[in-house]
Amino acid sequence: MEVPIILASESPRRASLMRKLGLKFISVKPQEPDCPSCSHFPVQLAGRMAVFKALQFRGKGLIIAADTLVVKNGKIYPKPSSREEAIKMLRELRGGAHEVITAVAVTYLDSLMVSAELTTVVMRGYSDYELLEYVNSGAPMDKAGAYGIQDEFRPVQSFEGCYQNVVGLPLCLLCRFLRSIGIKSKVEVPPECSFCPRVVELRLA
């Protein structure tokens, strides 16, 4: 019997990454948790938010959820709520390093697995003109930190760790979870994930 696979996300980027695994799945929109002023460490917060999304659909099949946070000097940069906030975020991130944390939660039957991947990202010194053009395009508005590493704007100078983690779904981590419950993808380990050393095991209790 084929297990129904549900991606608890309507992100086109996460769906595109999932398709690389050759698995049949459907995307559903979860209720988004609030991003509180951090009473948890950012890694724990990302984990709790991913679990919150996954558990909304528990019992309907194999559920995959993720949550991405951009963090610089302890400050969390969620999706911008306005054009002005996007501009502010991009100015604060410009020319420096930050961490991208994506937590992945998978639930199937009685099991719940959650871990996070960390990537260090260094932003280039883009000009205000470039920044404003990018914001005016609308592209940053549905992305944590107000940017996408894959966007034509090319805001990233360099990174250390998993590229797909910055896009929003570290397939290396997801594949490990799927193998542990006997789900085989067409791709054992995605080539982009052949060396992703910064997996953090999470205990949310």
- The catalytic residues are 67
- Angle 16-102-62 from CA coordinates, rounded to 5°: 60
104 phi/psi in degrees, rounded to 5: -120, 130
Helices (H), 9-127: 12-19, 42-55, 83-93
Q: Are strands 26-27 and 5-7 parallel, antiparallel or unpaired?
A: parallel
